[in-house]
Amino acid sequence: MVVPANLGGIAGDFILDTATEGLQLHETRAQGEGLPSTFRADLRLAGRVYRQRPVAVVDLDSRTHAFPTPIAGVIGAGVLDGDVLDLSLAPCRVALFAPGRTPRRRAVETFPLGSAGQRPLIRATVTDGRQIRQGWFLLATSSDAALRLSSEAVVLPPQTELAPLMPGGGRRGSLRALSVAGQLVENLSTGLDAPEDGILGRIGPQVFVGWILRFQSGRLFLRRDWGSNRAY
């Protein structure tokens, strides 16, 4: 999920990633602007202004090399400061609202979210057809796979190379099924992720094509998006 934004006068395309906590600027862009490795700046996004947010300068080449447009940085969930975030995914649309100013939409279902820092977590179940695992998953709006499992949560054949299965790698597996937020997704594209305590993996936006997602007050609201093309 890529959005246009302006960070301290630097306009460009940014990845909007709910599985990232802070605000990152691509190292090459920061060097071109003569900026230090950390600084503070105003962020303008979707009609909202977030004042003097801390920014980390990061090498994002491994994450952005496949994009058809230059990526200036990453906007994480913690930057949004309690605002309500609405997302639809095919086509991609983003809206931000101050609390109490959201348009009324009748949600089909709502689900409680946990948190890892300021990143949203949701309970989900996965199975390979023989074993079932339940746990907390990051909701990752910029994941390059429908599902990524912690590398510590899977058993792989001996001599399996992990790097091609990790973020940025080109290899995918297939998992029998994922059950999350009332959705059952079968035979979905699956990769691996670096382990984090208490987190079984991360769920990508591909799982929620066909829905409008609202992140509000620690809950996920789902509403059918009849204008989208549903695909995994």
Kindly state whether residue 117 falls inside one of the protein's structural domains. yes
Kindly report the CATH number assigned to the domain that includes residue 19. Answer: 2.40.70.10
Do strands 84-89 and 92-97 pair parallel, antiparallel, or not at all (unpaired)? antiparallel
Kindly state whether residue 101 falls inside one of the protein's structural domains. no
Kindly state whether residue 96 falls inside one of the protein's structural domains. no
Contact 150, 195 (CB under 8 A): yes
Burial 49-73 (b: 16+ CB within 10 A, else e): ebeebebebbebeebbeeeeeebbb
Pair (119, 43) in one structural domain: no
Pair (162, 69) in one structural domain: no
Counted domains in the chain: 2
Kindly state whether residue 229 falls inside one of the protein's structural domains. no
Pair (125, 77) in one structural domain: no
Pair (116, 209) in one structural domain: yes
Pair (135, 182) in one structural domain: yes
pLDDT tens digits for range 37-75: 999 999 999 989 999 999 999 999 888 877 888 999 999
The domain of 15 spans 2-81
Give percent above pLDDT 90 in the chain: 68
Pair (158, 220) in one structural domain: yes
Model's pTM, two decimal places? 0.90
- For residue 226, what pLDDT band results from cuts at 50, 70 and 90? low
Pair (60, 24) in one structural domain: yes
pLDDT tens digits for range 133-151: 999 999 999 888 999 999 9
pLDDT recorded at residue 227: 64
pLDDT recorded at residue 103: 78
Pair (72, 119) in one structural domain: no
Pair (77, 113) in one structural domain: no
Contact 150, 204 (CB under 8 A): no
Kindly state whether residue 198 falls inside one of the protein's structural domains. yes
Q: Tokens 């309970």 correspond to what residue?
A: 123
Kindly state whether residue 118 falls inside one of the protein's structural domains. yes
Kindly state whether residue 188 falls inside one of the protein's structural domains. yes
pLDDT tens digits for range 10-29: 999 999 999 999 999 999 99
pLDDT tens digits for range 78-114: 898 789 999 988 788 899 998 888 877 676 789 999 9
Q: Secondary structure of 213-231 in the HEC alphabet?
A: EEEECCEEEEEECCCCCCC
Whole-number mean pLDDT of the chain? 90
Kindly state whether residue 135 falls inside one of the protein's structural domains. yes
